[in-house]
Amino acid sequence: MDLKTLEYMEERTKNARKLVNRIEKLVKEVEKIRIADKVMFCTNNTSGNYVELTSSYELIQEIRKSTIEAITKEITRLEKELAEL
């Protein structure tokens, strides 16, 4: 095996490891979201502005469902990308 082949394999392995780590992180996030009892939206600044939803069970359930669906879709995409490596 030549150096070029080893470099190619190393790059693929590196990319695969990143994908696996990301998939594992998303799976853990889904588990956390399944048991969440409130939803918070944070602004992307240092002032600490956020909106917290705790009063509407139905709304929280709908947000939870949509979030899990979006994460599951991303996991599926990443798994497909991993399979193509």
Which pLDDT score, from 0 to 100, does residue 24 have? Answer: 98
Task: Examine the pLDDT at 10 and tell me if it is beyond 90.
Answer: yes
- pLDDT at residue number 45: 67
| More confidently predicted of 29 and 85 | 29
Domain span including residue 12:
3-84
Count how many domains the chain has: 1
| C-alpha to C-alpha distances, 69 to 8, 30, 74, 83, nearest whole angstrom | 34, 9, 9, 21
pLDDT reported for residue 38: 79
Please report which residue ranges of 1-85 form alpha helices under DSSP H.
3-34, 57-84
Choice between 15 and 56, residue whose per-residue pLDDT is larger? 15
Task: Decide: helix, strand or coil at residue 38.
Answer: coil
pLDDT in tens, 44-70: 766 667 777 777 888 888 989 999 999
Q: What are the pLDDT digits (tens) for 28-40?
A: 999 999 988 878 8
